[in-house]
Amino acid sequence: MDALKSAGRAIIRSPSLAKQSWSSGKHKKLPENWTDTRETLLEGMVFQLKYLGMTLVEEPKGEELSTAAVKRIVATAKAGGKKLQKVTLKVSPRGIVLYDSVSSQLIENVSIYRISYCTADKMHDKVFAYIAQSQRNETLECHAYLCTKRKVAQAVTLTVAQAFRVAFEFWQAAKEEKEKQVKCGSDGEAASSSQSESSASLGSTRGGEVATGDLLDLECGVKDHSGKDGTHPAQNLSTENNNTVWELEDGLDEAFSSL
């Protein structure tokens, strides 16, 4: 679980890390169409890549660590002399889903909270790689993919970083919504209790307290069902995409709550 704690911190910072690594090359501009991809990202961004392989690593993040891992993977792939497997990589706030491009068979589904680091490799600039914690035995694995060109490797890296940010926003929105529901429920119970205790002696002045209690209950209902309270714009998205939010929150709660 320590790896997951580091995962959140590492990947949240990854957009800036990616920009630093990109600016060191000849092409200093980020791909123009990667600034407004949120809606597309929710559905899943798809990339056609070639799988180079995997190697175990000892730490969840680190540029030198990933560079060394990619170097080992590339060397092993070259020594093997086999044709690289063509894969389809689908990136969304849920994580990375990997398919065989020829057979469309599912290869692996990696939850976003298990991904601790992603990079467009400096030495092999057409290689995209990420470090994730294995579901099977909790070991840390570095997976590398060959892209058609350098900009594709950069784009995949940025997309994974954006996916983590969106997942984190969903988790925050879901957490706030839960807290509001608890608060509204507590206020409603307090108002009901007050109304019951003083119902025999309610006068014109006390009537205002009962009305306030009813309005609090109504306010909770409006926020819960319409999401139009205007206080947190992100909550509108979380309400409209309720299934996505709560599904993500169930898996991300332990990882994100410790960031």
Mean pLDDT of the chain: 71
Name which of 58, 84, 152 is nearest 66 in CA terms.
58
Alpha carbon distances (Å) from 35 to 20, 49, 152, 159: 17, 22, 15, 10
d(CA 183, CA 149): 52
- CA geometry: angle 246, 155, 57, nearest 5 deg: 75
DSSP class of 35: S
CB count in 10 Å sphere of residue 189: 11
CATH of domain 2-167: 2.30.29.30
Please give the single-letter amino acid code of residue 128. Answer: F
Adjacent-strand bridge partners of 99: 88, 106
Highest mean pLDDT among 7-11, 12-16, 157-161: 157-161
- CA geometry: angle 12, 13, 17, nearest 5 deg: 140
As given in the structure block, the two tokens for residue 83 are 């044709």
Alpha carbon distances (Å) from 71 to 20, 52, 65, 75, 222: 20, 11, 10, 6, 55
Q: Are 116 and 74 in contact (CB under 8 A)?
A: no
Q: Are 141 and 56 in contact (CB under 8 A)?
A: yes
194 Cα distance to chain centroid: 43
Q: Is a pLDDT exceeding 90 seen at residue 142?
A: yes
Q: Is a pLDDT exceeding 80 seen at residue 209?
A: no
Q: Which residues contact 216 (CB under 8 A, 6 or more apart)?
A: 184, 187, 188, 191
What is the pTM for the complete model shown? 0.60
d(CA 93, CA 41): 7
For 37-56, how does the pLDDT look when each residue is reduced to its tens digit (9 = 90+)?
A: 666 788 899 999 999 999 99
CB count in 10 Å sphere of residue 245: 25
- 36-40, 88-92, 166-170, 247-251, range with the lowest pLDDT: 247-251
Length of the chain: 259
The reported pLDDT for the residue numbered 32 is 52
More confident residue, 31 or 71: 71
